[in-house]
Chain A
Amino acid sequence: DAKTTQPPSMDCAEGRAANLPCNHSTISGNEYVYWYRQIHSQGPQYIIHGLKNNETNEMASLIITEDRKSSTLILPHATLRDTAVYYCIVRYSGANNLFFGTGTRLTVIP
């Protein structure tokens, strides 16, 4: 699986959009970008995934650049409950496991 690079930490004001970047410059054509988050030692939670088109669901939006070398997870209106470690994972569709890097620790500030 391609490696990812994420900033170690970010702050976001409550109610504002949180934009979490991820670099995956070695991604190959059949690898998906997945985002999971982990709230304080709970089990990781799936957020969203995409291949090359932008995606949106009830939790977040995923913007993937045209060259697919980077992506941004957007939480449109961050709440205190969004404080968590966010993991960007690049994964071949046939792979059986998720490789979790160090992620970005997002702190939503009141």
Chain B
Amino acid sequence: DSGVTQTPKHLITATGQRVTLRCSPRSGDLSVYWYQQSLDQGLQFLIQYYNGEERAKGNILERFSAQQFPDLHSELNLSSLELGDSALYFCASSVSGGTGYNEQFFGPGTRLTVL
């Protein structure tokens, strides 16, 4: 158990819909990262938040957005869903924002299926 929690575990929805994935980082961790893992793309970095502020952006689509709240939990919002958005979405957390040694602890993931 990494100490990172993600909800829900599974999500099934239809094309065109909007969903919200939630992540609670390990106690004391200030950074939250979101990754997407699909069969054809592998694990891809989407976005990072550090202490409430966006710190880095990866291959995140404009239809996706995220935020980190004052209690440091984070939400990833996916809208206008397409079949290709079906994937495992992982959240990770780390103590710091990137400088120096920065081990990331991953949650169990949310499996999103878009029908």
Could you tell me which A residues sit within 8 Å of B by CB distance?
32, 38, 41-46, 49, 87, 93-102
Residue total for B at the interface (Cβ-Cβ under 8 A): 29
A97 touches B48 (CB 8 A): yes
User: Could you write out 5 A-B pairs with CB less than 8 Å apart?
Assistant: A43-B92, A43-B109, A44-B90, A46-B105, A93-B102
Whether A99 touches B45, Cβ cut-off 8 Å, given contacts A42-B108, A43-B4, is: yes
**Quick check: is B77 within 8 A (CB to CB) of the other chain?**
no
Q: Nearest residue in B to A99 (C-beta to C-beta)?
A: B45
For A101, the chain B residues whose CB sits under 8 A away are 42
**Quick check: is B84 within 8 A (CB to CB) of the other chain?**
no
Question: Scoring B residues 89 to 112 as 1 if CB is less than 8 Å from chain A, else 0, what string do you get?
Answer: 010100001111111111111000
Compute how far the CA of A44 lies from the CA of B101 in the bound complex, rounded to whole angstroms: 17
